[in-house]
Amino acid sequence: MKLPHILSAVFISPLLLAASFPIFAHHAFPTFFDPREIVSVEGFLTGVRLINPHSYFRVQVIDPNGQTGDWVFESNPVASLSKAGWHSDSIPANSKVRMSGFAARNGRPIARWRSILVYGQTAEDDVRLIFGQGQPPDREWRSRVEELGEQCEDIQGGCFVLDAATLDILQSEFMDMGVWSPPE
């Protein structure tokens, strides 16, 4: 190997390594979210941003004192959500939802999406339960949802339609787990 090639390799290699650093610097799930602390909030979906490197769902909640606040649920990149059938209006704006996720370690109203329960327009309407594309929900209740619910047509692999009676059964069986837990 000639000396200019060796010198080029010596000087260019550190530059290539430095340029690739942002790829390695992307945060890991447990750095920001606590896999042992699950939050569940109920409110109205006010925004969906399907973007990279993470997509986001914004939920407006009303606390017991009547004050409104926003929760943000982080999800997967747009490519993986699109592959599963997601698009920006998969859940209509201002739909009543209950979202559960893994709480942010810093205590802010941010969570890693785990599941979304999308309520129908009336109490008699079916609801949709959509599992997150990241961390899996508890196997026990997911198996029960798969047993009792009907697979959604538009979102593959993680969406089930539940009637009111089925929803009542699931909430009574799994009250302390994730989306079934009482809202914050």
* C-beta separation of 56 from 73 below 8 A: yes
Comparing 2-6, 22-26, 77-81, the range with the smallest average pLDDT is 22-26
Going from N- to C-terminal start, the domains of the chain cover 34-180
- At position 74, the amino acid (one-letter code) is E
pTM for this one? 0.75
Question: CA 95 to CA 92: how far, in whole Å?
Answer: 6
* C-beta separation of 114 from 120 below 8 A: no
Give 165-180 pLDDT, tens digit per residue.
888 888 888 876 666 7
- At position 131, the amino acid (one-letter code) is F
Q: Which segments of the chain does DSSP mark as H helices, in order?
A: 3-19, 21-24, 29-32, 78-83, 139-148, 164-173
Placement of tokens 């010596």 in the chain: 10
Instruction: State in words which class domain 34-180 has.
Output: mainly beta
Per-residue pLDDT at 70:
96
- Concatenating the DSSP letter of every residue in 117-152 gives EE--SSTTS-EEEEE-SSSPPPHHHHHHHHHHSEE-
